[in-house]
Amino acid sequence: MLDIKFVRSNPESVKEALVKRAVDLSLDEFLNLDEERRKKLAEVEQLKNKRNVVSEEIGKLKKAGEAAEEKILEMRSVSQSIKEMDEDVKEIEVKLQNILLTIPNVPNQTVPEGTDEDDNQKVKEWGQPKEFDFEAKPHWEIGEQLDIIDFERGSKVSGARFSFYKGAGARLERALFNFMLDLHSREHGYTEIIPPFIVNADSMTGTGQLPKFAEDMFKLEGTNYYLIPTAEVPVTNLYRDEILNTDQMPIYHCAFSPCFRAEAGAAGRDTRGLIRQHQFNKVELVKFVNPDNSYEELEKLLQNAEQVLQLLGLPYRVVNLCAGDLGFSAAQTYDIEVWLPSFNTYREISSCSNFEDFQARRANIRFRREKKGKPQFVHTLNGSGLAVGRTLAAILENYQEQDGSISIPPVLQPYMGGLTKITADK
């Protein structure tokens, strides 16, 4: 959410940002409502002041045993007017809030212009895509042939975009997220969190999923609960409505969670394999930092996520998302894309963003620079570190051998009980 005072005093910058993002939204209604609200507010506050003053007089008159009927009658009608005007103001405020909640964040200065992913700016490439001297198989075929992933029974038991991990596949998944959590908590200074996997609507609003993206999520029928689409939601909302002390900042959390996504607009896309599932595991990195250095923190966050791929020996590239491809809440985002041989291309495996104070304002997360200073909003950042299912897919594809087996990356072998290879016969 943008600061209403910022929108009021910088309408041109906001309009420019909307154009840059190719979002069709007129600010004029908002600006008019804002002016109307302030006008009515001044009027009703003046009446309330009168009521406060006169009510006190009535109290004194009554105490002194004097008549106060006339003033009481007058105040009765004043109170009625206040009630009506309060309703008007409230109505305007609801409208303003509804608009404000649907205005996306302003992209930062360095975000490249562009309308879709083709305009994203390549920042770096790491590793060489491996040349296979046989035909590289897609991970779903490998998974089925090794009997470590079962898509068919996933469909039977749940539906499309669900799957079972089995045997060495289940163990590999577990090895991956344990490896990631150990790396981030031991080497990178993140405090580990296991959050609730179900949250309320306030939390979804705090991070920006609601009100605009309700159809992307699973809501539990008859309740106010949602399955989380990422650990970002519960972990960012950890400090909702709190004022943090400077000495506890910056806060780094890493969190494991399953993620649940309705994939409403993705019918027909990535229908096979692990790339686009309704449920997948992810290790998420979340930071709460001082606004002064949030962009340094973004670079460090990106490096922490990249490190996972480097240690796993998976080739990847980093792109700086253009304005048109940027998520609703983000001011800047780097995507990390891993090489998938069967797709013959790079696919997103992590998204690292600085939200500046956009989420902090929605979720009301503040801090004080000095002990007696005014509270101000923190900057929040997060990034996948990494999406576990996609990482597993990347390992199956990049580490496949001609005989159909999979070699286990050395860093994972301790997590696999020393196993170095997954073969069909086991």
Partner RNA sequence: GGAGAGAUGGCCGAGUGGCUUAAGGCGCACGCCUGGAAAGCGUGUGGGCGGGCAACCGCCUCAAGGGUUCAAAUCCCUUUCUCUCCGCCA
Q: Which residues are catalytic?
A: 261, 276, 348, 351, 390
Taking the complex as a whole, how short is the minimal distance between the CB of residue 103 and RNA, in angstroms?
16
Query: Which position has the token pair 């009658």?
Result: 73
If one asks whether residue 48 binds RNA (CB under 7 A), the answer comes out as: yes
Q: Are the CB atoms for 7 and 104 separated by under 8 Å? A: no
90-149 residues in contact with RNA (CB under 7 A) are 90
In this chain, which stretch among 34-42, 133-141, 323-331, 350-358 interacts with RNA, using CB under 7 A? Answer: 34-42
Query: Parallel, antiparallel, or unpaired: how do β-strands 421-422 and 345-354 relate?
Result: unpaired
DSSP of 208-275: T-TTTTGGGSPBPTTSSEEE-SSTHHHHHGGGTTEEE-GGG-SEEEEEEEEEE---GGGTTSS-SSSS
| Contacts for 54 with CB less than 8 Å, ≥ 6 apart | 71, 74, 75, 78
Only one of the segments 255-263, 269-277, 316-324, 367-375 lies at the binding site for RNA (rule: CB under 7 A); that segment is 367-375
Query: Between residues 44 and 262, which has the closer beta carbon with respect to RNA?
Result: 44
Binding part of the chain for RNA, among 59-67, 136-144, 250-258, 418-426 by CB under 7 A, reads 59-67
Question: Using the rule CB under 7 A, is 4 a contact of RNA?
Answer: yes
| Of 382, 193, 192, nearest in space to 289 by CA | 382
Residue 253 tokens, joined: 């959390």
Q: Which of 12, 42, 221, 245 binds RNA (CB under 7 A)?
A: 42
Residue selected from 26, 49, 98, 115 as contacting RNA according to rule CB under 7 A: 49
With respect to RNA, which residue has the nearer C-beta, 5 or 269?
A: 5
- Percent of the chain as helix, strand, coil, to the nearest 5: 45, 20, 35
- 232 touches 259 (CB < 8 A): no
How far is the C-alpha of 340 from the C-alpha of 312, rounded, in Å? 14
Q: Does 222 bind RNA (CB under 7 A)?
A: no
Q: Tell me if 58 contacts RNA by CB under 7 A.
A: yes
Residue 67 sits in the site that holds RNA (CB under 7 A): no
Q: Give the one residue of 9, 28, 63, 131 binding RNA; rule: CB under 7 A.
A: 63
Is the Cβ of residue 55 or residue 279 nearer to RNA in the bound state?
A: 55
Is residue 38 at the binding interface for RNA, with CB under 7 A as the rule? yes
Q: Say how many residues touch RNA, by CB under 7 A.
A: 29
Q: Does 52 bind RNA (CB under 7 A)?
A: yes
| Nearest residue to 143 (alpha-carbon basis) of 387, 343, 399, 348 | 399
CB closer to RNA, 79 vs 108: 79
Of the candidate spans 10-18, 55-63, 300-308, 384-392, the one that interacts with RNA by CB under 7 A turns out to be: 55-63
Classify burial at 313, counting beta carbons within 10 Å of its beta carbon; exposed 0-12, middle 13-18, buried 19 or more: middle
Of 9, 128, 247, 374, the one binding RNA (CB under 7 A) is 374
Strand pairing partners for 288? 251, 380
- Position 5 contacts RNA (CB under 7 A): yes
- Asked if 45 is part of the footprint of RNA (rule: CB under 7 A), the reply reads yes
Helices (H) and strands (E) in the chain, counts: 12, 17
Retrieve residue 189's tokens.
């200074």
Report the C-alpha gap between 242 and 355 in whole angstroms: 18
Q: How far is the CB of 401 from RNA (least distance, A)?
A: 41
Nearer to RNA, 63 or 269 (CB): 63
Position 311 contacts RNA (CB under 7 A): no
Q: Toward RNA, which CB reaches closer, 25 or 78? A: 78
Q: What is the DSSP letter of 138?
A: P
Q: For residue 299, what are its two tokens?
A: 């670079």
Q: Give the interface segment with RNA, choosing from 49-57, 250-258, 345-353, 387-395 (CB under 7 A).
A: 49-57
Q: Is 372 in the site for RNA (CB under 7 A)?
A: yes
Please check whether residue 98 is in contact with residue 5, taking contact to mean a CB–CB distance below 8 angstroms: no
| 56 contacts RNA (rule: CB under 7 A) | yes
Cα separation, 146 vs 141, in Å, equals 8
Residue ranges in contact with RNA by CB under 7 A: 4-5, 38, 41-42, 45-46, 48-49, 51-56, 58-59, 62-63, 72, 75-76, 79, 83, 90, 371-372, 374-375
